[in-house]
Chains A and B, each alone.
Chain A
Amino acid sequence: MTLLTWIFDSLLGLSLLWLAWRALACPNLFKAIVLFVAFGLLMALAWVRLAAPDVALAEAAIGAGLTGALLMAALAKLHPTEAHNDFAVPPEKNVTKVWSWQWLPAITILLVTTGLGYVVLSLPPYATGLSTEVAANLEISGASNPVTAVLLNFRGYDTLLEIVVLLLALLGVWSLNSADLDHKAAPGIVLDTLARLLTPIFILVAAYLLWVGAHAPGGAFQAGAVLGAAGVLLLLAGWRPRTGLMALPLRLVLVIGPAIFVIVAMLTLLIAGQMLEYPPTQAGALILILETAATVSIGVTLAALFLGGDPRKNNRNKNHT
């Protein structure tokens, strides 16, 4: 049995390296994206093998689902009309400059990586990190899933900043581009039915992941990513929200995650004296509130990132992009 898992792990590791190499080296960009999506799929399996199911869930939703859709849409906009040669980059354009000394970075990186490998292997084979501290405080953290406890309580401050990063990415995207709200090719009955059928299931699964996250793998990011995927599917099926919703209501939903986080941070600062210090009896409820708000924001932000522009600017800049 250990032999079997060892073979499985080695094969998975080699496949990951091979996929990464091919995705980065093949001249055809479309092929590269498909290989990258497959890479994400295998990454999720690797997280499972490393006993990190929370990470695997996040990777499954974001890495294998959303990033693939984002890349596909970007590739399509990069070459809107040309179908020539199946997105192949002409070989002479593929590589920077005249790298007649291309071996130089290759050899440098090889040496550095060998060194890094040596350093990694020099680490002690047994180390518990912070798992004893996490276990000792899990009881009063408000969540029995240690990853959720770390994300929302022990290191909740990182999570606060990180939700702001997501909002910031959207601000950046919106300042660059206007949304393409008119692109509504008829989805066809199959896609339309698929979107209608799956959307409620997406929402149910997101709610399930959010709920289960307190005591088992799951949580706000995974749930938010699933919700975002539902939004992306609807957008792909040609659905567009009414323009009335695209102004302040949309912005309110986008900021509800960071806003609730900041409010809780301020309140805990006032009451408990330390930012994000939850009273142990209410920690569970607070975490659930924070996670619910974060899930909604993350989901809508991811879908808005896929839409790829500011919906407010739609009418003015229609012929611009």
Chain B
Amino acid sequence: MQPLYLALALFLLLNLGAGMWRVLRGPTAADRMLAAQLFGTTAVAILLLLAQATANAALRDIALVFALLATMTAVAFVRRAWPNREANHESK
């Protein structure tokens, strides 16, 4: 099973890399934030896979902290950093 876990972790890492394109491209701040949100979930999945692959239970605690803090940046974004007018940048 171990090769499968590692292969899937690698696959998810590649996925994450592909998602980077959305951060770079935007066009709105919300789009970039969405991509970051997906990275968080992907990282949780990678950690769980690595925990199983290396039989290291501590990695699940790290995944737990990640899952717990998954909202932080996004909430900070929505409540603080999101500019009020963005419509005029949406149309391309």
Interface residues of A (CB under 8 A from B): 1, 4-5, 7-8, 11-12, 15, 19, 22, 26, 28, 30-31, 33-35, 37-38, 41-42, 44-45, 48, 53, 56-57, 60-61, 64-66, 68-69, 72-73, 75-77, 79, 81-83, 85-87, 185, 187, 191, 194, 198, 201-202, 205, 208-209, 212, 216-218, 222, 226, 229, 232-233, 236-237
B23:A65 contact, CB within 8 angstroms: no
A233:B64 contact, CB within 8 angstroms: no
Interface residues of B (CB under 8 A from A): 2-3, 6-7, 9-10, 13-14, 16-17, 20, 23-24, 26-29, 32-33, 35-36, 39-40, 43, 46-47, 50, 56-59, 61-62, 64-66, 68-69, 71-73, 75-81, 83-86, 89
B36:A222 contact, CB within 8 angstroms: no
Main secondary structure of the interface of B (DSSP, over half): helix
Interfacial chain B residues near A83, Cβ < 8 Å: 83-86
Interfacial chain A residues near B80, Cβ < 8 Å: 72-73, 76-77, 236
Please list 23 pairs of residues, one from A and one from B, whose beta carbons are closer than 8 Å in the complex, sorted by A's number: A1-B6, A15-B20, A22-B24, A34-B32, A48-B47, A48-B59, A53-B58, A53-B61, A60-B69, A64-B40, A68-B73, A69-B75, A72-B73, A72-B81, A73-B80, A86-B29, A198-B71, A201-B68, A205-B64, A205-B65, A205-B68, A216-B58, A232-B72
**Closest A-chain residue to B64, C-beta based?**
A205
Interfacial chain A residues near B68, Cβ < 8 Å: 198, 201-202, 205, 226, 229
Q: Given A38-B23, A53-B56, A86-B86, do A68 and B72 touch, yes or no (CB 8 Å)?
A: yes
A44:B43 contact, CB within 8 angstroms: yes
